[in-house]
Structure 1
Amino acid sequence: MSNIKPDIKLSPTEVADLDSLFLFQLDKEGRYLAAFTPKDPTDKAAYLLKYTKLLHDPSVNNQTIIADDVIAGSIAKFVIEGNAEITYWLDRKFWGKGIATKALQEFLTIETARPIFGRVAFDNFGSQKVLEKCGFVKIGTDKGFANARQTEIEEFIYRLDY
């Protein structure tokens, strides 16, 4: 395995990026770890409709993660119940290369909403490490129905204040 780290850039998400991003969330292992997914992740029309609307929502900051000039994933800030939250998704072939951490670090320089929260399934250790490396602190837990698992699971809540 090469020690050469890919060049990571963020770019405002465009409608043209959505086809690639849709394919990433079809990955069963990725969906399992993300846990909180749409009821039918194979419904491309619903996906495109939802995310096209979000691209025009001024409270949402959608960025596409580019690794060596290839779309590798997405990262976004959204507001729920008055709180800024982050979400990110990386194509599985890019896992374990430090890309999510570098993308989140970069994202946090352009997205200045604070505090900002991250939620992660209790057993998604990779995502927990990404948040912690970027300064997020675990502040609590919650339970919610995870469509990808068809059961209620525990999620950890992380917060970044600076």
Structure 2
Amino acid sequence: MEVALRPVHDSDLPVFFRQMNDPESLQMAAFTHEDPADRDAFDAHWTRVRASSDVVRTVLVDGDVVGSAALYGNPGEREVTYWIDRTYWGKGIATAALRDLLAEAPERPLYARVAADNPASRRVLEKCGFVVSGHDRGFANARGEEIDELVLTLGS
């Protein structure tokens, strides 16, 4: 299984939209857009993201689009994020994609946030060198309530 990153193509967006509306994935990710099913908001978001200086990549497995990975925010405060299609969970794809993304962007420190009850995503981050550096609470749109989250840091 070959994991690769490439720039986002227009043809990736319908796949991302479908992935980001999977109920189980939304529950696990927790921190999502206010209404993930709002296609106009989704399109506007991706137009802004693709026009920004953020590092945004499509994750491919054997040439198939399986998700996205990104580095966003202001220098010194940049965060990583990733989304992998649920049918590919547990196969090391998120870890491989995040490692590749980190190799593209050597700046440090970098940050990540994860729902405290999402141990799989925490493991991905820790395998890539992130360490828990704090705790927070935030409103999780996908769950409709405030939940605990972990803040992780790579580098200092």
- Structure 1 segments (4+ residues) deviating >6 Å: none
Note if contact 1:12-1:64 (Cα within 8 Å) is conserved in structure 2.
yes
Query: What SS does structure 2 have at the residue aligned with 1:83?
Result: coil
Question: What's the counterpart of residue 37 of structure 2?
Answer: 42
Candidates 3, 22, 29, aligned match of 1:27: 22
Which one-letter code corresponds to 1:83 in the other structure? E
Structure 1 residues 136-151: aligned runs within 5 Å: 136-151=130-145
Q: Is the contact between residue 84 and residue 113 of structure 1 (CA under 8 Å) also seen in structure 2?
A: no
**Could you tell which deviates more after superposition, 115-124 or 47-56?**
47-56
Query: What letter corresponds to residue 61 of structure 1 in structure 2?
Result: V
Deviation, structure 1 residue 135 = 0.5
Q: What TM-score, normalized to structure 2?
A: 0.96
Q: Tell me: CA distance 1:81–1:38, structure 2 relative to 1, closer, same or farther (3 Å).
A: farther
The answer to whether the aligner puts 1:13 opposite 2:26 as a matched pair is no
- Using the size of structure 1 for normalisation, the TM-score is 0.92
Pairs within 5 Å for 1:63-142? 63-79=57-73, 83-142=77-136
Q: Which runs of 5+ in 2 are unaligned?
A: none
3-state DSSP of counterpart to 2:78:
strand
**Partners in 2 of 1:108 and 1:64 — Cα distance?**
14
TM-superposed deviation, 1:33: 1.1
Report deviation, 1:14.
Answer: 2.2
Q: Give the C-alpha shift of residue 127 in structure 1.
A: 0.2
CA contact (8 A) 1:14 1:55 kept: no
Identity of aligned residues (%): 42
Q: Which ranges of structure 1 fall in alignment gaps of 5 or more residues? A: 1-5
> Could you tell me how far 1:113 is from its partner in structure 2?
2.3
Offset at residue 82 of structure 1 (A)? 5.5
In the alignment, the residues of structure 2 paired with residue 82 and residue 48 of structure 1 have an alpha-carbon distance, to the nearest angstrom, of 28
Aligned residues, how many? 156
